[in-house]
Amino acid sequence: MALPVPEYEYDYEQYEYDHERNRRRARLVDEPEPGPELYHAEDDDSDHWVPLRALSGTVPCLDVGKAFDVFNAVAPEGWRVELIEGDIHVTPPPNGENETILSEMNRQVIPKLPDNRLLTYTGIGLNLPGASRTGHVEPDFVIALRGSIAPEAYYHDPSGVLLVCEVTSRSTAANDRAKKILGYARAGIPVYLLIDRQVEGGAIFVYSKPEGDSYTRQEKYTSSQTVPLPDPLGFEIDTSGF
């Protein structure tokens, strides 16, 4: 549950990371410039500071978990707030190309699911083991066991998840390629499908067999190939439409 926004008054805040103490500091600045690990945007013309302007106060020393709740409370509808390896990341809604890929994924996956207890999900949050605290992420696409996604919760235990899929954008590619691999592997999610739109010509990576904070197997495909998904799924995805 998001915490109430503190009732203080000034116009702008800029969060600065204090990695040694794993906390956030909020300080007034004259000309705020969003830091790359705090805030990302697809469109350079978008208002990067909508969530920060919505904050009505300053907290001299804000715990990262509480800061995450505050950002969740004030982020515009459709924007994604994630806590990845101790850092807060805010991204705008996906564009049409991203949604087209996910729709095509869903169309192909549903009739191929090997067990009628499996369902596909978008827009759900997962709790992931982090380097120092629990992370909170929202994958683009999830295959999970029926009943493993609690209807009353936003962030869920990943133990019933068989596959997560991320479709990169300019603002998410760095995390999708690195930090999220750590969390998904630590959570023991069997398959991580990464559709990388930022690679020239498009590339698709299939990570499987998690061990510790990495996957022991990685396969790379082009966006025109048929991509086999390993056990426990065991079916193929035609990516020519991606």
Domain spans in the chain, listed from the N-terminal domain onward: 14-91, 96-238
DSSP single-letter state for residue 81? E
Say whether the peptide bond before residue 232 is cis (omega within 30 degrees of 0): yes
On the CB side of 133, how many CA atoms lie within 13 Å of its CA?
Answer: 17
Indicate if the alpha-carbon torsion angle 196, 200, 206, 210 is positive or negative.
negative
Residues 6+ apart with CB under 8 A from 89: 37, 38, 39, 40, 80, 81, 82, 83, 172, 175
Q: Looking at domain 96-238, which of 3.60.20.10, 3.40.109.10, 3.40.50.300, 3.90.1570.10 is its CATH number? A: 3.90.1570.10
Residue pair 166/172 in contact by the 8 Å Cβ criterion: yes
Q: What percent of the chain has pLDDT over 90?
A: 54
pLDDT number for residue 31:
35
pLDDT number for residue 42:
43
CA dist 93 and 111 (Å) reads: 28
Instruction: Tell me which amino acid residue 69 is.
Output: D
Give the tens place of pLDDT for each residue, 16-50.
Answer: 333 333 333 333 233 333 333 444 444 434 444 44
